[in-house]
Amino acid sequence: MQTYTISELAAEFGITPRAIRFYEDEQLIKPTRQGQSRIYSPRDRARLVLILRGKRVGFSLDEIKEMLDLYDVRDGQATQLAYTVKKFSERINALEQQRADIEHSLEELRAARARLEVMLAEKQPHRMPANDEHGRLIGYAMNPGAHD
């Protein structure tokens, strides 16, 4: 079966071996050993992918660990199924909120960029509105909607 060394994974994902060992300290991955050295299976690699993606979307390592543990539900813990489902739903809601935040941010950034490009095209750095005291930036309403 395919295996990986720690530096192989580190190079592949653009992180340091130190980080990977840290994830092990925090119980997020449990590679086997060959003597003293760590050996990573495809499953360990897959967990690393989930860890890094989780980080990119703003989860803490503790939260990611909880999610990975929830994936690891087995027969013995079957009584906790309802709790697990609830936790998953919470995560899903959080992510959907976050996606909405990102949509907002993207809208604003694109609109602001468009205006900047117009100014660039005009090549005339004359008077421009800049921002006023009513919560508008570069003439574009910030549209402060939901904030929780």
Q: Contact residues for DNA (CB under 7 A)? A: 5-8, 15-19, 21-22, 26, 35-38, 55, 60-62
C-alpha Rg value of the chain to the nearest Å: 23
In whole angstroms, the minimum distance from the beta carbon of 22 to its own copies comes to 18
Considering only residues 39-98, where is the footprint of its own copies by CB under 8 A? 41-43, 45-46, 49-50, 52-54, 56-58, 70-75, 78-79, 81-82, 84-85, 88-89, 91-92, 95-98
Tell me how long the chain is: 148
Q: Is 33 in the site for its own copies (CB under 8 A)?
A: no
Produce one character per residue of 90-105: b if its CB has 16 or more CB atoms within 10 Å, e if not.
ebeeeeeeeeeeeeee
Report the relative pairing of strands 136-137 and 32-34 from DSSP bridges: unpaired
Q: How far is the CB of 8 from its own copies (least distance, A)?
A: 13
Q: How many C-beta atoms lie closer than 10 Å to residue 138's C-beta?
A: 14
Interaxial angle between packed helices 6-13 and 17-25, expressed in degrees from 0 to 180 and rounded to the nearest 10:
110
Q: Please choose which of its own copies, DNA, none residue 121 contacts, taking the beta carbon within 5 to 8 angstroms, the exact cut-off set by kind.
A: none
DSSP-based helix, strand, coil % in the chain, nearest 5: 60, 10, 30
Closer CB to DNA, 42 or 129, in the complex: 42
Binding site for its own copies (CB under 8 A): 1, 12-14, 41-43, 45-46, 49-50, 52-54, 56-58, 70-75, 78-79, 81-82, 84-85, 88-89, 91-92, 95-99, 101-106, 108-110, 112-113, 116-117, 119-120, 125-128, 130-135, 137-138, 142, 144, 147-148
